[in-house]
Amino acid sequence: MLLVIALGGNAILRKKDKPDIATQFRNTARAMRHITPLAKKFSLVITHGNGPQVGAILLRSEAAKKQAYELPLHSAVAQSQGEMGYMIQQCLENELRRKGIRKSVSTVLTQVVVSKNDPAFRNPTKPVGPYYTRLQAMLLRGKGFVIAKDVHGGYRRVVASPRPKEIVEASAINKLVKSGVIAIACGGGGIPVYRPGNELKGIDAVIDKDLASALLAKQISADIMMILTDVPKVAINYGKPGQRFLNKITAKKARQYMEEGHFPAGSMGPKISAAINFLSSGGKKVIITKPELAEKALKGAAGTTIMR
């Protein structure tokens, strides 16, 4: 049985946390304590978000641009996959050893193909990197960047969030998994690339990690996808009167709730879309819950399960 686990940004860095490396290692180690027991029964692929980390990489690049070369966003995503892959890999290896499970772990730098004609490129919405003043925003606009006023005040660069079309390294990941290796892949939704002619080329965009994870799960014929975030279950009327947590629903019901507007675009929406995509392309089951409840949820005793 092959299980793809998509780890939310919150499992590694919560909003209230000091965003340093020690804190991230501590949180990652905690998440791995919950995930490691699953390695006894399942083949595993772990994917993860990278919001705060890629933001910090872009900030460094910008602040140091007089001394060191600047990084385009696609290279920054690649860097975040290295930084975070290293951390997850080490925490997982330590935990496997502690539990006496003999499995090796390997991070795969993952490129994800998008279309240059994706409508998202005409309407960039995803904020990335540093906050700017009005004057800086004007200068950057002059250089061709799309800068928008941020909800938290100030200005930020916004980039497209195009739909993932193909995971370039899917076959490499599949081979690792088949030989018993736990793969860490698709970090931050993958390094965005497109195909001019027959080549691959990086492009500045941010791919949703849940949608990329569902596509990877499909391409490697995973059985189950698990989305680990900071809520125990999915709810309808979330945070409103009439809120009701869901235990088990069909993909059809999930689609209906989605159409009724229960799952917002920036958070639960992509997770439900990812679940529906995976189930309609051969996946058996999707579970959405917190890392602490992962083991229980696989037994059907926690979390929200979405079935075909």
Query: What is the DSSP code string of 235-275?
Result: EESTTSTT-EE-SEEEHHHHHHHHHTT-S-TTTHHHHHHHH
For ligand ADP, the nearest residue by Cβ is 8
Binding of ligand ADP by 126 (CB under 6 A): no
The count of chain residues that interact with ligand ADP, using the rule CB under 6 A, is 15
Q: How far is the CB of 237 from ligand ADP (least distance, A)?
A: 8
Residues 7-26 within binding reach of ligand ADP (CB under 6 A): 8-10
The residue (of 49 and 162) whose beta carbon lies closer to ligand ADP is 49
Backbone angles phi, psi at 16, to 5 degrees: -80, -10
Residues 254-273 within binding reach of ligand ADP (CB under 6 A): 262-264, 267-268
Q: How far is the CB of 7 from ligand ADP (least distance, A)?
A: 8
Residues 196-255 within binding reach of ligand ADP (CB under 6 A): 229-231, 234-235, 238
Binding mask 29-68 toward ligand ADP (x if CB under 6 A, else -) reads --------------------x-------------------
The residue (of 42 and 263) whose beta carbon lies closer to ligand ADP is 263
Compute how many other C-beta atoms are within 10 angstroms of the C-beta atom of residue 3: 23
Q: Which residues of the chain form contacts with ligand ADP (CB under 6 A)? A: 8-10, 49, 229-231, 234-235, 238, 262-264, 267-268
